[in-house]
Amino acid sequence: MIPGSNKDHPSFIRSFGYALEGFVTAVRTERNIKVMLALGIAAVVVGCVLKIDLLSWCLVALCFGLVIFAELVNTAIEAIVDLATQEYHPLAKRAKDIAAASVYTLSITAAIVGIIVFARALGFIA
């Protein structure tokens, strides 16, 4: 049941529609998701050019998906905090900063994995 509603849960297929709607909304409204998607697409292009192996593709895909996931969660947390208070509050700032730090940490990790994967494909690492 949806809180505040007499309606049952949406169907499984309708839930995918809501998820897609959320993704499209995030892409339309959030600059950082656009940047992360562009970098992920660039990684895929570089991977195609370098003809990386299957395990490397798995690492690139996993990092790409995790970074987008983290950015989406960060965006949702920011929206919830903004809904809870329009005024400055130290706890609101703390929640937003920590959520942003999680994306930053994962992005740095993904960049390191990308450097290793592509350096190996270029023959810099055995």
Task: Give the SS3 label for residue 49.
Answer: helix
100 contacts 92 by C-beta, under 8 angstroms: no
> Tokens at residue 76, please?
């949702």
117 contacts 60 by C-beta, under 8 angstroms: yes
> Tokens at residue 62, please?
């996993």
Query: What angle, rounded to 10 degrees, do the helices at 90-121 and 31-50 form?
Result: 10
In angstroms, how far is the first alpha carbon of the chain from the final one?
Answer: 54
Active site residue 87: no
Out of 21, 71, 78, 87, which one is annotated catalytic? 71
Catalytic positions, please?
71
